[in-house]
Amino acid sequence: MTGKIVLLPGDGIGAEVIYAAKDVLEAITKKYNKPFEFSSYDIGGVAIDNHNTPLPDETVKACKNADAVLLGAVGGPKWDNNPSDLRPERGLLGIRKALDLYANLRPVKGFKKLLHASPLKEEIIQGSDLLIVRELTGGLYFGQPSERFDNGNAVVDTLAYTRKEMERIIDKAFQSAELRNKQLTSVDKANVLESSKLWREIVEEKKADYPNVTVDHVLVDAAAMKLITNPTQFDVIVTENMFGDILSDEASVLTGSLGMLPSASLAEDGVGLYEPAHGSAPDIAGKGIANPIAMILSAAMMLRYSFNMNEEAQAIEDAVEKIVNQNYYTADLKNDNGELVNTTEMTQLIVDAI
Ligand SMILES: NC(=O)c1ccc[n+]([C@@H]2O[C@H](COP(=O)([O-])OP(=O)(O)OC[C@H]3O[C@@H](n4cnc5c(N)ncnc54)[C@H](O)[C@@H]3O)[C@@H](O)[C@H]2O)c1
């Protein structure tokens, strides 16, 4: 069977890193005889320029017909002053909604050779290996009304969730914990928010279905503090959309660079979308120095979650670990003893290691 993969390069370094991931997948095809069929579509700023919309219908259609989608990144200063329906991020929110990608999985693992690149002390981050499971289609970013009133002098945003939306993400987190160290931390603000009170009730109800998983509840403010003072205490963290957005970027400092963090966004039974945690990095776009590892590790997650190719996914992850441990590094990762390489060179090293 040929895996149908849609590439959405997007803007800035998105295109640079997505073709790095494609090279790595072609190395997997060669080694394991697993063919993939690639096609590319516009999203974000480039789609606004070419189609006058951040999410053309043909992009949505192609993604719905694919087995999996790889996305680079969207956005950049060129479109920053556009009206809200012509902003690149609209493309991203739109494709998540169109594919009903309700679960965002972000693994965060410190690489031994990169511990020094984190602003945190090595002894604090050593051994950290956690997974953040974030709800992606509900909460404040989608609730209505979201508007200004009183002549623009007052605002309202709405945090809305249904029980079903909470249950499916909490189930996904329990299942993820079962595959890891069986420890789930649910993050909420149940001392203040009604939505968090229902969230906490559902987590408590679900415990009976997953007797092997231990559960604790942490308020989001305390979780933000614990994540950088004692990250090794966490295995799987589950939380709603906005809290997850903030905590997952905070967790990125554990690895030393956004350039190392992959993510998977999953639908209930449909197509999965895989993208690096970083944005389009306009400050380095076009220079050929972007770190492709987050994108390449996202492709590995794709093999695991969308194609059930665990051995092949592991081969990519092992190759990345090998090259990082051989002290090769890109400009975003400080390493005084290592060898500085650009995007193409880093990709080739990983391809060769596979
Ligand atoms: N998922 C997405 O598409 C996404 C996510 C976040 C931000 N954005 C958009 O990206 C644009 C820039 O946003 P930002 O600057 O806040 O975040 P960013 O992640 O693009 O960049 C933050 C910093 O990290 C560096 N960086 C990020 N990825 C890197 C990589 N792979 N290799 C080397 N260095 C890397 C950048 O050079 C920059 O200094 C904005 O338009 C924003 O809206 C898009």
Cβ of 89 below 6 Å from ligand 1: yes
Check if 1-102+264-354 and 119-254 are the same fold: yes
Among protein residues, the one whose CA lies closest to atom 25 of ligand 1: 281
Q: What is the pLDDT of residue 263?
A: 95
pLDDT for residue 125 is more than 80: yes
Q: Which of 354, 269, 272 is nearest to 316 (CA)?
A: 354
Q: Are 219 and 189 contacting, i.e. CB atoms less than 8 angstroms apart?
A: yes
Site to substitute for ligand 1 among 8, 92, 258, 344, most atoms within 8 A of C-beta:
258
Class of domain 119-254: alpha beta
Name the class of domain 1-102+264-354. alpha beta
DSSP symbol at 9 = E
Asked if residue 282 has its Cβ within 6 Å of ligand 1, the reply is: yes
Residue 93's SS3 state is helix
Q: Is position 161 annotated as part of the catalytic site?
A: no
**62-71 average pLDDT score:** 97
Query: Which region among 96-100, 254-258, 284-288, 296-300 has the lowest average model confidence (pLDDT)?
Result: 254-258
CA–CA dist 47, 95 (Å, integer): 13
CA distance 214 to 216: 7
Task: Quote the pLDDT of residue 179.
Answer: 86
Indicate the domain borders of the chain.
1-102+264-354, 119-254
Closest to 38 measured CA to CA, from 9, 58, 60: 9
Look at the pTM and tell me if it is higher than 0.95: no
Q: Considering only residues 93 and 185, tell me which one the structure prediction assigns the higher pLDDT.
A: 185
Q: Are 321 and 111 in contact (CB under 8 A)?
A: yes
- Residue 189: active-site member: yes
Residues sharing a CB contact under 8 Å with residue 62, sequence separation 6 or more, in sequence order? 6, 39, 41
List of residues 6+ apart from 221 with CB closer than 8 A:
189
pLDDT for 138-195, tens place per residue?
Answer: 999 989 999 999 999 999 999 999 999 999 999 999 999 998 999 999 999 999 999 9
pLDDT category of residue 111 using cuts at 50, 70 and 90: confident
Instruction: Please say whether the beta carbons of 312 and 28 come within 8 A.
Output: yes
Does ligand 1 lie within 6 Å of residue 281's CB atom? yes
30 is catalytic: no
Q: What mean pLDDT value characterizes the chain?
A: 95
Please report the DSSP string for 186-228 in residue order.
EEE-TTT-HHHHHHHHHHHHHGGG-TT-EEEEEEHHHHHHHHH
Question: For the range 243-246, what are the long-range contacts, defined as Cβ-Cβ under 8 Å and sequence gap of 24 or more?
Answer: 243/134, 243/187, 243/188, 243/189, 244/104, 244/132, 244/133, 244/134, 244/135, 244/136, 245/134
Long-range contacts of 52-58 (CB under 8 A, 24+ apart): 52/86, 53/86, 54/86, 54/87, 54/88, 54/89, 54/90, 54/91, 54/94, 55/90, 55/91, 55/94, 55/95, 55/98
Has 157 been annotated as catalytic?
no
Cβ neighbours of residue 96 closer than 8 Å, sequence gap 6 or more: 136, 137, 265, 273
